[in-house]
Structure 1
Amino acid sequence: MSGTAYHALIRTHHITSRKKVARLKAAAKQFQCYALLRSGGIPGVMYVRGSDRSNVQKWVDTVHDLRYKDYQLAAPVHAVPSELWRDSPQQDDDGLGCLEEVATVKEMATRMEARGLQRWWRVAMGFMQA
């Protein structure tokens, strides 16, 4: 990925509404962000990444406006420290403008680890202290 990337993490009670997921998918496309959702049960978790800070914030605002139960901005929009990125095909800009879903928190954690974000993810989720 060229330049600086920005990301955020959101927790909710659950993500089950297909209408809301469709809105988030449209927002990811509109704001050129990559979004990864843990949907289908409790808890709901959303990770978003993009190259433009304001667009990532707009995606986060879209989530907030959908009024998810127990909405919590676990990790506000912040620059991704360069040392967290690994050389991997998953880090390029091909994913911008798309939304992916996973079924389990474990699968989401695996995706975060593949991106070099395991410690950040665990702290943001409250699994460990900073």
Structure 2
Amino acid sequence: MSRSANVFVTLIRTHHITSRKKLARVKKAAALYDLQVLVRSGGSPGIMYAEGPDEATVGNWVNGVQALRYKDFQCVQKPAASLVRATGPVSDTGFEEVTSVSEFGERMEKRGLGSWWKIGMGYAQG
């Protein structure tokens, strides 16, 4: 059974995510700001999703990721309040990594953010 929660979410798209050092810093920032973060790594496109309790915290995380200078960094969905169908945390550690776009999309669908994600990625118009 799922429950809904109002949280602040953001979506970042980059050309690719392959650097393990940069990913370690993304994970460290997720822990620092106590956010739930999902990353699609291993190739193109690189995708990052984060959710947290307030806009400022999520915005600070986005700024930290942007400072890593990922190629073609785009915050395609700015930090904003959203109703998330809570299916539990993204992971126990607050950080999870997937290697396929389809798996990332499935995770977004489970959180009730399928349409939001597709619009951000340019797969659908909104």
Q: Same fold (TM over 0.5)?
A: yes
**Unmatched runs of 5 consecutive residues or more in structure 1:** none
Task: Give, in whole Å, the separation in 2 of the partners of 1:22 and 1:35.
Answer: 12
Structure that is richer in helix per residue: 1
The residue aligned with 2:55 is 53
Identity, % of aligned pairs? 46
| TM-score normalised by structure 2 residue count | 0.90
The residue aligned with 2:74 is 72
- 99, 104, 118: which one pairs with 2:100? 104
4+ runs deviating over 2 angstroms: 1-4, 94-97
Contact 1:28 1:96 (C-alpha < 8 Å) held by counterparts: no
In structure 2, the CA distance between the partners of 1:99 and 1:11, relative to structure 1 (3 Å rule), is same
User: How many residues are paired up?
Assistant: 124
Contact 2:16 2:41 (C-alpha < 8 Å) held by counterparts: yes
Structure that is richer in strand per residue: 2
- State whether structure 2 residue 117 is matched by structure 1 residue 121: yes
SS class of match (1:19): helix
Contact 2:8 2:81 (C-alpha < 8 Å) held by counterparts: yes
C-alpha root-mean-square deviation of aligned residues, in Å?
1.9
| TM-score normalised by structure 1 residue count | 0.88
**Unmatched runs of 5 consecutive residues or more in structure 2:** none
Task: Give, in whole Å, the separation in 2 of the partners of 1:34 and 1:51.
Answer: 10
In structure 2, the CA distance between the partners of 1:37 and 1:101, relative to structure 1 (3 Å rule), is same
